[in-house]
Structure 1
Amino acid sequence: MCERCHDCDSLIVRINRALDAAEATEAALAAAEKIQGLSVSQQRRAAMLRQELAQATIFSALDIDAFRVFAADLDAAIRQGTGSHYIADEYAISGGYEQHVTNESAMALIALQSALNLLARRIGAVRNRLRAERIASELRVLKKHGLETAPRLASRQRQSNRRSL
């Protein structure tokens, strides 16, 4: 359990973690924009994602795939801001080593990429927990009333999952 709420159920804990990740993502977006490490198209996408985060419905309406795509899109800019150098070392068995140096802009993008991926995972965990509770509730009702067979239940569940996505 989390330190802030000893008697919380796991859904509350997951929601809390997702909200913390949303705050961290907003801060990382602001830092990347401040350093001007984003391209024009990335700036537009960042503004749209910030608007989505500001909405109170982040657990139902938010497109977490957009966060994943944006995080993957940052790879090229991160590579561009990272340089590799070979350091010759006469005392090393291999004769030297490669050192990677990342500039401030790329470091901000790395932090943003990590925050975006974490947020997508945390919101996904909340949605999975809600879906699991809904399925468990349906199964309890069915068990109590003995109304449906397993194939009919599976068909209904697939339809429910399609609607919730």
Structure 2
Amino acid sequence: MVFNEKIVNPAELRHWEGKIELYWVYTSGSAGDEFFKALKKGKFIAAKCKKCGKVYFPPRIYCEYDFSKTEYVNISGEGTVRAFTVARLDKNEEPLEKPEIYAIIDLDGTDGCIIHLLNAKPEDVYIGMRVKPVLKAKNKREGRITDILCYKPS
């Protein structure tokens, strides 16, 4: 679609009803693939730079600071709440049955974090709170981020 006129009067704006078919595949890359394979086994991995020692989560294959190759290292998946928010409405602005807490969690032994659902009462959550992951049962895991059901206080 090419625009060859400039509309300066908002009353002259027009629109067309219709659908644009979009097809794409988003891949997690080779480092992400390794993470999801480990997660399916109930393990968490990060990537450590061989040169500077920076530990990446989510893992990557190269260090963004010195472009050195990284190596996979096991981590616990446990961490500390850096920030959180309490959602009381769903995406359609309907009240939730119970509040949902979403937290930014700094993962132990890494320079990274994860944003995930936190299973706790809003009044009990605080910055600096120690948390650990809750995974799906082993036979239900698929190697996806949804294999992490939530985090809970440790």
The structure number with the bigger radius of gyration is: 1
Q: TM-score, normalised by structure 1?
A: 0.18
Tell me which protein shows more strand as a share of its residues. Answer: 2
Higher relative contact order (CA 8 A, sep 6+): 1
Q: TM-score, normalised by structure 2?
A: 0.19
Tell me which protein shows more helix as a share of its residues. Answer: 1
